[in-house]
Amino acid sequence: MGGVQKSAYAMQHAKDILLLRTMTERDRYLKTLHQSDICIGTMGLHKSSGWKTAEYVAASKGIVNETLHYEVPGNFLEGKNYLAFITNEECMTGISKLVDDPDLLLQMKVNNRQYYENYLRPDMLIKQVLKIVEAD
């Protein structure tokens, strides 16, 4: 599932992929997220890691993500926590790889749960920040 939220710009340039407003409501998004095994992450503003990628990790999903341009703390690795893509074809290849290899998908989900527990959980985020501050 994918698409863009309705706006004047989207109406003019992407009318064929508009999402219904109900599809972007928080409860519907979370329900859809939890029903999905594989999620696709795209970069954010200025090539930042999109926050949805962290949501996918927290939900222990298989992830196919645009190539990361910034360092991510801890042991978040391509091939282990996500499959990277640049082109649409590479994205589709990553999805197919996870669909065709249930063991790889399961291991990625387990890896993402472990990463969440060690780095993304709110208390662990604070702990990591305090480590950095203490080191300075």
4 Cβ contact partners less than 8 Å away, ≥ 6 residues apart: 10, 14, 17, 18, 19
Report the C-alpha gap between 62 and 57 in whole angstroms: 8
DSSP β-bridge partners for residue 64: 40, 83
Yes or no: say if 86 and 64 are a contact pair by the CB < 8 Å rule: no
Yes or no: say if 113 and 82 are a contact pair by the CB < 8 Å rule: no
pLDDT of the residue at 19: 77
pLDDT of the residue at 15: 83
Q: What's the pLDDT tens digit per position in 29-80?
A: 889 899 999 999 988 778 877 788 999 999 999 999 999 998 888 889 999 9
pLDDT of the residue at 42: 87
Amino acid at site 103 = D
Global confidence as pTM: 0.84
Phi, psi of 18 (to 5 degrees): -70, 140
18 pLDDT exceeds 80? yes
| Of the listed ranges 14-18, 34-38, 87-91, 128-132, the one predicted with least confidence | 14-18
Domain ranges of the chain: 1-35, 37-135
